[in-house]
């Protein structure tokens, strides 16, 4: 049993919830009433508080703004079929936050602090957890450097925060992706495996170029040869070729996705052949051409399972099988939803009840 942490709570005077159209929620634009804050100074987290969601006041020289020392997480809360609030695998996010933090010289957030802060916040904003199909409350924990200092060194002060927002689908349609062979997302020894803010900033320019060509997202390839598939913009990437589920092995350049792990766990449990290994562009394109590429999709918290409609490579677009025929991705999406909603057994202990 964990010690209960002392979290002060200042509630909003007037909730904004009635201003939200829960039938039409854009992703990442509407924030619930409260947010959690803890400050790190002199080697410890203190002043744990939940306050109304509001703007922050920070020094213009705050290290995070200049040197990008910042990591974050993404997870989701749902209302299950009995109306209870549940969170999908929060302990895994707490652990990954600390893996990212270590790489960016950011102090660890104790797992019990992460979990208790999230629990208190969700209990307070329980009404913001939507219960409609394909909706969730997206939870965004993040830690950033707060030193008021111009100079390169790890900050001494940090802030850990959690904000939440009700969300609908991240991608409103199956995605068109382009295999990127010029720009690089992550190189061996870099920060690719960390959920570090700067990784996303660096991906924007190549993604913008691809969007101008009509694609939604990039598929990143290895930094050395640009021959092997790594991950897609906001997601891990998976293929089903000849009934085998294949995904790039988790490495220092790939984010160890929690949805990725959940999909692989379910597939193995169903007796499917699963391979975590290097997969070349050539192999994927050959499979797309000869009809053995049965399925391709992204897996991520925000995106959940995002069907890939077509893959662009070297100026050619390869159209993939119709979405309705994607046996595996449709099945795994349904299975994960059923677990979250309490309609299927939580065999792997993924569901955290508030
Ligand atoms: C997530 O999947 O939760 C992410 O953090 C991706 C982000 C770009 C929305």
Give the ipTM.
0.93
- Mean pLDDT value across residues 180-194: 97
- What percent of the chain has a predicted confidence (pLDDT) above 90? 97
Residue 120 has pLDDT above 80, yes or no: yes
Ligand 1 atom nearest to 233, measured from its CA: 8
CA of 74 to the centre of ligand 1 (A): 6
CA of 289 to the centre of ligand 1 (A): 31
Average pLDDT over the chain, rounded to an integer: 97
Residue 141 CB contacts under 8 Å (≥ 6 apart), including other chains: 72, 73, 75, 93, 97, 109, 114, 117, 118, 160, 161, 162
Q: What is the pLDDT of residues 98-108, one digit of tens each?
A: 999 999 999 99
Among protein residues, the one with the nearest Cα to ligand 1's atom 9 is 302
- Mean pLDDT value across residues 190-208: 97
Residue 154 has pLDDT above 90, yes or no: yes
- Mean pLDDT value across residues 22-38: 96
CA–CA separation, 331 vs 307, rounded Å? Answer: 12
Phi/psi region, residue 83 (left: phi>0; alpha: psi -120 to 50; beta: rest), is: left
Give pLDDT, residue 2: 52
Q: Quick check: CB of 301 below 6 Å from ligand 1?
A: yes
CA angle at 350 for the pair 352 and 277, rounded to the nearest 5°: 145
Mutating to test ligand 1, I would choose from 97, 168, 301, 336 the residue with most ligand atoms within 8 A of its C-beta, which is 301
Give pLDDT, residue 1: 44
0.90 cut: is pTM over it?
yes
Q: Quick check: CB of 234 below 6 Å from ligand 1?
A: yes
CA of 139 to the centre of ligand 1 (A): 10
CA of 146 to the centre of ligand 1 (A): 23
Q: Quick check: CB of 302 below 6 Å from ligand 1?
A: yes
Would you say 285 and 149 are in contact if contact means Cβ atoms under 8 Å apart? no
Candidates 203, 97, 105; CA nearest to 145 is 105
Among protein residues, the one with the nearest Cα to ligand 1's atom 7 is 234
Q: What is the pLDDT of residues 268-296, one digit of tens each?
A: 999 999 999 999 999 999 999 999 999 99
- Mean pLDDT value across residues 195-223: 97
Q: Quick check: CB of 262 below 6 Å from ligand 1?
A: no
Q: Quick check: CB of 135 below 6 Å from ligand 1?
A: no
CA–CA separation, 243 vs 240, rounded Å? Answer: 6
Q: Quick check: CB of 166 below 6 Å from ligand 1?
A: no
Give pLDDT, residue 234: 86
| Residue 65 burial (CB count, 10 A) | 14
- Mean pLDDT value across residues 210-236: 97
Would you say 113 and 45 are in contact if contact means Cβ atoms under 8 Å apart? yes
Residue 81 CB contacts under 8 Å (≥ 6 apart), including other chains: 341, 342, 343
Q: What is the pLDDT of residues 253-264, one digit of tens each?
A: 999 999 999 999
CA of 28 to the centre of ligand 1 (A): 10
Q: What is the pLDDT of residues 287-342, one digit of tens each?
A: 999 999 999 999 999 999 999 999 999 999 999 999 999 999 999 999 999 999 99
CA–CA separation, 308 vs 239, rounded Å? Answer: 10
Give pLDDT, residue 157: 98
Residue 111 has pLDDT above 90, yes or no: yes
Q: Quick check: CB of 298 below 6 Å from ligand 1?
A: no
CA of 301 to the centre of ligand 1 (A): 6
Q: Quick check: CB of 300 below 6 Å from ligand 1?
A: yes
Q: What is the pLDDT of residues 35-48, one digit of tens each?
A: 999 999 999 999 99
- Mean pLDDT value across residues 91-120: 98
CA of 298 to the centre of ligand 1 (A): 12
């Amino acid at each position: 049993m964990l010690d209960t942490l002392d979290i002060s709570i200042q509630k909003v005077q007037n909730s904004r919830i009635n201003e939200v159209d829960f039938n039409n929620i854009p992703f990442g634009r509407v924030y619930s009433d409260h947010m959690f804050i803890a400050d790190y100074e002199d080697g410890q987290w203190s002043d744990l508080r939940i306050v109304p969601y509001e703007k922050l006041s920070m020094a213009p020289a705050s290290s995070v703004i200049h040197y990008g020392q910042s990591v974050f997480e993404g997870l989701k809360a749902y209302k299950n079929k009995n109306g209870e609030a549940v969170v999908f695998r929060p302990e895994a996010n707490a652990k990954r936050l600390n893996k990212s933090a270590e790489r960016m010289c950011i102090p660890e957030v104790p797992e019990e602090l992460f979990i208790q802060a999230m629990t208190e916040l969700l209990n307070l904003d329980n009404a913001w957890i939507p219960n409609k199909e394909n909706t969730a409350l997206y939870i965004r924990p993040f830690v950033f450097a707060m030193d008021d200092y111009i100079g390169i060194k790890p900050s001494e002060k940090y802030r850990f925060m959690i904000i939440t927002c009700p969300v609908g689908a991240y991608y409103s349609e199956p995605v068109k992706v382009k295999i990127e062979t010029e720009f690089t997302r992550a190189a061996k020894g870099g920060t690719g495996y960390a959920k570090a803010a700067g990784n996303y900033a660096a991906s924007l320019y190549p993604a913008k170029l691809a969007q101008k060509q009509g694609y939604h997202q990039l598929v990143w390839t290895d930094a050395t040869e640009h021959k092997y598939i790594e991950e897609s913009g906001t997601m891990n990437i998976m293929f089903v070729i000849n009934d085998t589920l294949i995904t790039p092995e988790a490495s220092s350049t790939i984010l160890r996705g929690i949805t990725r792990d959940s999909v692989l766990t379910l597939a193995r449990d169903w007796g499917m052949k699963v391979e975590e290994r290097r997969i070349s562009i050539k192999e994927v394109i050959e499979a797309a051409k000869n009809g053995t590429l049965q399925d391709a999709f992204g897996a991520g918290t925000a995106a959940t399972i995002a069907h890939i409609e077509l893959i662009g490579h070297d100026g050619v677009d390869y159209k993939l099988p119709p979405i309705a025929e994607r046996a595996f991705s449709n099945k795994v999406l349904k299975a994960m939803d059923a677990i979250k909603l309490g309609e299927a057994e939580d065999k792997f202990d993924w569901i955290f009840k508030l």
